[in-house]
Amino acid sequence: MIATVPLGQAPQGVAYVPGAVSTGEGLDNLQPSGAAALSIQLKLSPPGGKATTQVTLFDQSLVQVLQAAVTGLQPKQPYVLALATQPDGGGKLEPIANFMTNPAGAAIVNTVGPIRQVVEVSTPGTRRYLVIAPGSPQQLGQPVQLQMP
């Protein structure tokens, strides 16, 4: 039997083979896939508020896949995930992904780049901070969510 299973936004793939493992849990010989299995978690929140957005960076050698589960924003509005030069969202903003929120004020945002290298650096002038700002890459408003320390 073949069926379509609703898996949500951006599914990677699902396969089910009945009876494929006759004994045990079926986890024998499974191991993480090296650098691709490494990830870091970051959280964003409104200034002075509780975390509402979860960001995961999956290592892919020199770059990372960034996936942000964004919540707590205005419904059906355009926003930009950007890098700020200051932890309070001040300074120049460098857009890395634009998105539109759904009717609940949420979105899943995906992008690829050397993001970990700039959000974890401790060298002044080099480090950047993830923020979410309303608007478009050409016209950004004040950040409404900031990377938490």
The CATH number of residue 126's host domain is: 2.60.40.200
Q: Please report the pLDDT score of residue 117 as a whole number.
A: 73
Q: Would 38 be classed as within a structural domain?
A: yes
Query: Which residues on neighbouring strands pair with residue 94, listed in sequence order?
Result: 83
Domain count along the chain: 1
Tell whether the model's pLDDT for residue 31 goes beyond 80: no
* Residues whose CB falls within 8 Å of the CB of residue 44, separated by 6 or more in sequence, listed in order: 51, 52, 53, 55, 68, 70, 130, 131, 132, 145, 146, 147, 148
pLDDT at 92 over 70: yes
The residue with greater pLDDT, 28 or 129, is 129
Residue 13 falls within a domain, yes or no?
A: no
Q: What secondary structure letter does DSSP report for 105? A: S
- Give the number of other CB atoms < 10 A from CB of residue 103: 7
**pLDDT category of residue 3 using cuts at 50, 70 and 90:** low
* 20 part of a folded domain: no
The one-letter code for the residue type at 51 is A
Mean pLDDT throughout 50-72?
Answer: 88
Name the band, by pLDDT with cuts 50, 70 and 90, for residue 84: very high
pLDDT tens by residue, 100-144: 999 999 999 999 887 877 777 766 667 889 999 999 999 999 999
Does this model's pTM top 0.85? My answer is no
Please report whether residue 133 resides in a domain. Answer: yes
Amino acid (one-letter) located at 41: Q
Q: Residue holding tokens 């890459």?
A: 137
Which residue range(s) make up the domain with 83?
34-147
